[in-house]
Structure 1
């Protein structure tokens, strides 16, 4: 009668180092996958190793190697997700000095144009300019309008509004290309007056959110930044309304836009109550009153 001990009958305690080294179903399955072995072959190897009085998974692996098997690596290539817009950019640049503050300016259009734009010097940092030919805009007009849910005539109207502002941030220029003069929209930005948005978030902003959402998010990207990293920062409602080109009476609009960005997990806010000292006519403290402040932060996950 064969009295050879069968480790598969043993309880394998995962917290016991010695037990984990014994041959068992779990670790033999791992070796089967590692060396691309068939079920019959791994079973034969286990039987042969056990018959030699060897019981550890390390001894089994050495036996498999001695049989000439090599580690079988399968490279898993994730399918490349097709982009909605015609661009190879990983981040999209938009200026934040002038046009964003103009009432009636549609930042969806500017962001969309910047998304399909090109740049001459990709190594240049700080101030730079991007351009997109009028013909390329015409070719991409349908997809841009569909994603923004506006008509081509509305899109062109918003472009005219941007151009009429006479801002250097967006204008029509002549560019030389292969000996020909090409009419292009040019987007200019200066150091300290622009932000970059990851392409994946650009799609989310353009497709699902409003002009005011894009304006608020773009402003918060630079307002909530210090020394190259994002921080929690108190920003007054008055300042945000001014930077978005909205009137001082647009508190409700700002509230809705803020809630929308939070629901989309683009920003977070926290209301903090602080005490504010009250002074009398003589400038002496006579009491205090509670005052709320809203702190904003950018979601980076």
Structure 2
């Protein structure tokens, strides 16, 4: 299909790779939680658990990157790490160090957490080695992380099989891994799956199935999927041609700031043929 968009980036856990200002690290005492007999590992879990980490201590709510209290978290996680508390603690220490701007030390400890088999550490460390050109190690790490249930790794395997990064390109396996990530709620995975089916380069073209996944990605807020679904509705490719519905989905993308969608809204709004007038009464984008 003309004007298709695709997303070919590796997903990076923002909690580790966000660019942040280096903050002053004050040596402060652990909070009064010590009085409640919490160990350093417990406090580290409480102060630095990631929402993306299925292996985190579920007794405590996840902490967003912007909410990390570096003094408390760094003190607790470093103490727990020195007590050899394991892969989860190493990952959490790496996360806090990254937030504090100590990238070199963070990357080193992240590698240790990956060696300990921590799934989220493996997929994040995979990104780092991939950026250094070692796509085979990147692929192997994502395989291990995905086997442990990490959805970011599943998405990354979809990209790897689609683009032939660290392995041979394989459309069937790309779809399989994108489907796993889609089932876990990933809208970008649903979009990329639709593009593979839409293009018909890696697998036989299936526009009907592509449209279904575009709709799913649209429901999850993916703007590129809105544009591609709008084009299918406009031309009748894989779906019943529906100009009012096409215009509506283009409007949705335009509201998100997409310039191409804005042009399509203007183009379709200028149409005044009988078909458009009649369809306007009965069709709505879902």
User: Structure 1-normalised TM-score?
Assistant: 0.23
Question: Which structure has greater helix proportion?
Answer: 2
Q: Whose strand proportion is higher, 1 or 2?
A: 1
Structure of higher CA gyration radius: 1
- The structure whose RCO (Cα within 8 Å, separation 6+) is larger is 1
